[in-house]
């Protein structure tokens, strides 16, 4: 598996398009300067990992990519973030529409207190993605299949999503995000609340998702970043210290701080 990964990654650098491009992004929480002048490009059909010590701003930056930070009153974002060349912070962009294109999965699984089916159907319904019930059923099934949970839940689509195990809940949340038909999938430490087996399942899933989506994942686990991603950005104190191919970054970091972090001197 590692072989194929590397192959795609190598091919990717040259051939893949830039999906999200950020230039000089700064984020402030009231007076606190949380993200400082971050510029990096996220490629299509690639898993990009953000790593770094706690509080380094990686999650904050991730949440800027689909404007989840808008829901926090005191948060202010400057600089440019372009999705397919369009500024997502432009006045004409509706965050609601943006979030349909750039989905997000959170750290803690948060299924709605509804049935499994309704959880997945929620996105397509509110966006009016499908015309009839048959299409909706199909979208739900496809999403659940793609999230690799279909076989576990196909017989109990009507039971509440909150009744699943932690790993299943997280895959349900991924299915829910996929059902909205996004182009980019953001994942905010999706495995930190899960046990090792569930984590492995999710990681496998992430790798498969790459074929259809651009995936950005925040993780505090370097092993995880190394396992699932092709590109990695190392965040430290609100800045991007180093950004490049995952293999290069882990084997041959350019910056001293990166080296200290991946060798476990701090974090």
Residue 244 in the binding site for other proteins (CB under 8 A): no
Residue 182 in the binding site for other proteins (CB under 8 A): yes
Q: Which x/- pattern over 135-174 shows residues binding other proteins (rule: CB under 8 A)?
A: x--xx--xx--x---------------x----------x-
Residue 103 in the binding site for other proteins (CB under 8 A): yes
- Whether residue 154 contacts residue 144, with contact meaning beta carbons closer than 8 Å, is answered with yes
Closest to other proteins by CB, 157 or 184: 184
The C-alpha angle with vertex 60 and arms to 178 and 53, in degrees rounded to 5, equals 110
Residue 98 in the binding site for other proteins (CB under 8 A): yes
Binding range to other proteins, per CB under 8 A, among 7-15, 26-34, 43-51, 123-131? 123-131
Residue 191 in the binding site for other proteins (CB under 8 A): no
CA Rg value for the chain: 18
Interacting residue with other proteins among 5, 22, 46, 66 (CB under 8 A): 66
Residue 190 in the binding site for other proteins (CB under 8 A): no
| 95: nearest Cα among 124, 68, 73 | 68
Residue that is written with structure tokens 């899960």 in the block: 194
Residue that is written with structure tokens 């319904």 in the block: 125
Q: Which two tokens stand for residue 220?
A: 């505090």
Q: Which two tokens stand for residue 96?
A: 């609601």
- Whether residue 99 contacts residue 67, with contact meaning beta carbons closer than 8 Å, is answered with yes
What CA–CA distance (Å, rounded) separates 33 from 12? 34
Total site size for other proteins, rule CB under 8 A:
43
Binding range to other proteins, per CB under 8 A, among 15-23, 119-127, 201-209, 242-250? 119-127
What's the closest the beta carbon of residue 177 comes to other proteins, in angstroms? 7
Interacting residue with other proteins among 56, 130, 205, 206 (CB under 8 A): 130
- Whether residue 75 contacts residue 52, with contact meaning beta carbons closer than 8 Å, is answered with no
Residue 216 in the binding site for other proteins (CB under 8 A): no
Binding range to other proteins, per CB under 8 A, among 25-33, 43-51, 112-120, 232-240? 112-120
Helices (H), 113-165: 116-127, 133-146, 150-153
- Whether residue 124 contacts residue 192, with contact meaning beta carbons closer than 8 Å, is answered with no
Beta strands, E only, the chain: 18-29, 32-43, 47-51, 75-83, 86-87, 102-105, 184-188, 214-218, 231-236, 239-245
What's the closest the beta carbon of residue 125 comes to other proteins, in angstroms? 8
What's the closest the beta carbon of residue 94 comes to other proteins, in angstroms? 6
Give residues 67-96 in contact with other proteins (rule: CB under 8 A): 68, 71, 94, 96
Q: Which residues contact other proteins (rule: CB under 8 A)? A: 66, 68, 71, 94, 96-101, 103-106, 108, 110-114, 122-123, 126-130, 135, 138-139, 142-143, 146, 162, 173, 176-178, 180-183, 212
């Amino acid at each position: 598996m590692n072989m194929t990964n590397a192959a795609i990654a190598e091919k990717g650098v040259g051939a893949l398009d830039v999906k999200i491009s950020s230039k000089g992004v700064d984020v402030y929480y009231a007076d606190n300067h949380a993200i400082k002048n971050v510029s990096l490009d996220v490629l299509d059909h690639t898993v990009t990992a953000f790593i770094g010590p706690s509080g380094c701003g990686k999650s904050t930056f991730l949440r800027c990519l689909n404007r989840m930070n808008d829901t926090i009153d005191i948060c202010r974002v400057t600089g440019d973030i372009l999705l397919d060349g369009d500024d997502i912070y432009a006045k004409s962009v509706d965050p609601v529409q943006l979030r349909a294109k750039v989905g997000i999965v959170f750290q803690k699984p948060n299924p709605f207190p509804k049935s499994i089916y309704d959880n997945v159907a929620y996105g397509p319904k509110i966006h009016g993605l499908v015309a009839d019930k048959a299409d909706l059923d199909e979208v739900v099934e496809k999403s659940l299949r793609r999230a690799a949970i279909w076989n576990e839940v196909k017989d109990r689509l009507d039971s509440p999503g909150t009744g699943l195990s932690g790993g299943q809940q997280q895959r349900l949340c991924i299915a829910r995000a996929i059902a909205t038909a996004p182009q980019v999938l953001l994942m905010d430490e999706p495995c930190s609340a899960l046990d090792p087996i569930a984590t492995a399942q999710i990681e496998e899933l992430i790798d498969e998702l790459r074929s259809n989506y651009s995936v950005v994942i925040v993780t505090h686990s370097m092993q995880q970043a190394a396992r699932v991603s092709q590109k990695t950005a190392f965040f430290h104190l609100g800045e991007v210290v180093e950004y490049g191919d995952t293999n290069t970054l882990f084997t041959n970091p350019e910056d001293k701080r990166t080296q200290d972090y991946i060798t476990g001197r701090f974090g």
